[in-house]
Amino acid sequence: MKLEVKYSTMIVKDMEQSIEFYRDIMGFEVESQYRPNDDAVITLMKQGDGAMIELIQDSFYNVGLYSIGIDVDDLDQTLAELQEKHVRITMKPVKTSVGKMAFVKDPNGVNLALIQHDKPQTNPEENLPEKEATK
């Protein structure tokens, strides 16, 4: 089971103030920002080649640390191994825009987002119907 911490997710009360803090004081750069709905905004910030910070402003969640994002090679295998070790799975795998993810809790109740990224295609014609693939 290979695990690699990639990001921390924090729920913030003031997105602009949070961006200014992490950009101007801590040296992070805004990588992307989007609005999944009218009440929420998500900003991804990165510092060099290191892990990222995901800031979420959404009144549905309490302010504070929400989760730690961990990349895994094989989500199903990782969950099976964790289940054998009696780790609490709080969200079964769901599809995401980058692959699939699930949540587990550590002994302190911290959410751990386990993310499996889709593998890039080596041959873009692999998924074409037979008649359209070039030979």
Structure tokens belonging to residue 91: 């969200």
The model carries a pTM of: 0.70
29 is written with which tokens?
């750069």
Backbone angles phi, psi at 16, to 5 degrees: -60, -45
**pLDDT tens across 53-105, in order?**
999 999 898 998 889 999 999 999 999 999 999 999 999 999 998 899 999 99
Correct CATH for 3-117 of 3.40.50.620, 3.10.180.10, 3.40.640.10, 1.10.10.10: 3.10.180.10
How far apart are the C-alpha atoms of 22 and 46, rounded to whole Å?
A: 9
The full set of domain ranges for the chain reads 3-117
* pLDDT above 60: residue 129: no
Task: Please give the structure tokens belonging to residue 63.
Answer: 């302010």
